[in-house]
Structures are given as C-alpha cells and as structure tokens.
Amino acid sequence: MRTVVTCIFTSLIAICLAIPSRAIGQSAEARNPFAKATNPSSIANMSELNFDVVSIHKNNGDDAPSGFIMDGYKAVGMPLWRTIAYAYFPVRMRDPNWIRNAPSWVFDEKYDIIAKIAFEDAVAWQKLRKKPSSEENPELQSMFEKLLEDRCHLKTHRTASEVDGYFLEIDRGLKISAGKPDETPPPDAIMRDDGGTVTYFEKEGSHGWTFQNASVRLLLSFLSLFSGLPIRDKTNLDARYDFTLEIPDQNSTGSELQSEGVSDDFALVQVALKGLGFKLNRSKVPLSLVVIDHIERPTAN
C-alpha cells in the first residue's frame, strides 16, 4: 500500500486543523504539500492589511474546524497562545514553549475568535493566506500582532534561545546537479519567489518532487513542512541545483524501510534525502522566542 504523504501545504485554510491526509486514493494535488502555494513575490507590493472586524469571546464548549477562511480567520475553542504564535512564528512552527512569561490562562482558557477582512481586501487576503506555511510571513504576522495589541493590550519582546530542530548537512556523495535557470519548468510546477520550482510526480513504485534551479533555502522550507520544527542549513551550498526527492512505495521496499526504522512520512522523506547525499541531524537550533511583557484578557466586543 502506498504511503500517503501528509497534506500540510495545500493552503493556509487548513493550518489550524493540521489534518494528516492519509486516505487511500488521494489526488496528486492533495498529496503535494506545495500545492496551491502562491509565489510570495506576488504580494510584495500589497498594501498593508488589517482585520476589519474582530469578535472574541470565551468558548462555551462548542468545537468546530478552525483556521484561515475565505474572508479572515476563525478559531473555535482554542487557547489564546495559538493566535499569539501566528503573530511571531511561521504558521507551521507553533510551540507553546516558544512563548515565555505568559500567564497560565493564555494556555488554559479557550476562546472563539472570528476576524474578518474588509471586502475590498479580499483579493490581497487570498494571496496572503496561501504563502508557504513553513516560512516567515511578515504581512500576516503583523495582522495578528495588531489584533492582539488592540484586544489584549499585548506587549512583547524577543529573546535569543535554542529549541529542538534539525541541521541539514552533507552526508556523502551528493547526487544533485547544477541548476538550469533557462530550462522551462513543467506546466504544473510551483514557482517560488527565488526562481526555483517544485513539481510533484507519481509513477509506478514511487512518488516525490522534482526541484529545478532550487536553492537550499527552498529545500529547507519544503522539509519544514514535514518536520514542524525549525531546520537550519549547514551545507554551505549557495548555488542553484536540480534534483529529485523520490519516495519509494512501502510495498516495493518494505523490508528495507522497516530496517531503517521508517514509520511516518517525515522518516520516509529523510530516507529519500539521504539518497541524495544529505542528512538531517536532530539538535538544538537557534530561534528567537517571544517574551510576554504585558497581556490582558480580550476586551469585550
């Protein structure tokens, strides 16, 4: 049975749900975590956005899907720390331990938050919410920071620290080639802001991604979608490269994968990465944490 890659990056609509797509027979689009990602440069000149209407109240026991919606943000029955994390970290990088000096209610009390954008900002919002969820998103983070400053009188500062993560390193015998910037990518390729592309494929016995004219930064962003942890570069590779990250079907290499101790999608990706001559080393990595200087429970609507 083919192992289905976790659907993390189809769009930022599902970021609060973080639902693993493990159903058999998914479409190629659903299995590609880079699907529907927009080119970040397409919103570089976008005017500053703010939430137009915000409703916050204590949760009464209801539960519902939460995340980015067509016209804003919705969180039902969520502790406030999750919304605070959106203001300071990439969408896929959320850990309550990265928020320091917060009162206990920030983690324990549950709130319902509905934040809507203005009608005239709809197009800009659609582009913004689809930026890669493993990368910094300054415009989006600023929207949440202003929301929290307004409704919770939030004041913070940052502090350097180290957290659990990975270092990407060269193992041996790199199987990558020099990038070809003039080569036309396939029509279904996802174009990134730095000119690199990623194309998802499926074939008999395997599936994976073809990277063209890709930087190491693009590879790090991709890997972070699966790890949910920060990944830092120790390769010293600063050019552009072409390579394929191919994941064998479990039924075609079952015993080999079992001997590697592979039990989830990220482990499968790491095996494929090792085949290219890279390795991920689990370690403490640098990260700027958030320290709460002042916060109040949300003001009344």
DSSP sequence for 54-118 = EEEEE--S-----EEETTEEEEEEEEHHHHHHHHHS-TT---GGGEES--THHHHSEEEEEEE--
Buried b (16+ CB within 10 A) or exposed e, 132-151: bbbbebebbbebbbbbbeeb
pLDDT in tens, 29-72: 445 555 545 444 433 344 589 999 999 999 998 888 888 999 99
CB burial of residue 92 (10 Å; 0-12, 13-18, 19+) = buried
Helices (H) and strands (E) in the chain, counts: 8, 13
pLDDT of residue 35: 55
What is the band of 27 on the pLDDT scale with cuts at 50, 70, 90? very low
- Is the confidence at residue 77, as pLDDT, over 90? yes
123-to-145, 205, 213, 281 alpha-carbon distances in Å: 21, 40, 29, 40
Question: Are the CB atoms for 128 and 139 separated by under 8 Å?
Answer: yes
247-294 residue pLDDT tens: 887 654 444 444 444 346 788 889 899 999 999 999 999 999 999 999
Please say whether the beta carbons of 191 and 205 come within 8 A: no
Cα(164)–Cα(287) distance, rounded to whole angstroms?
A: 9
184 vs 236: CA distance, rounded Å: 27
**pLDDT tens profile 149-185:** 999 999 999 999 999 999 999 998 899 999 998 888 8
CA angle 168, 170, 176 (to 5 degrees): 105
Both tokens assigned to 101:
């000096």
**Do 296 and 267 form a contact (C-beta atoms < 8 A)?**
no
pLDDT of 71 reads 94
Q: State residue 75's pLDDT score.
A: 94
Is residue 35 a contact partner of residue 200, using CB atoms and an 8 Å limit? yes
- Tell me the per-residue pLDDT of 107-144, one tens digit each, with 9 for 90 and over: 999 999 999 999 999 999 988 887 777 788 899 999 99
Residue with token string 């390193």: 169
Which of 169, 266, 198 is CA-nearest to residue 226?
266
Q: What's CA 218's distance to the chain center, in Å?
A: 12
Overall average pLDDT of the 214-240 stretch: 92
Residue 12 CB neighbour total at 10 angstroms: 25
pLDDT greater than 80 at residue 146: yes
Model pLDDT, residue 32: 57
User: What is the total residue count of the chain?
Assistant: 301
Mean pLDDT over all residues of the chain? 81
Would you state the pLDDT for residue 250? Answer: 65
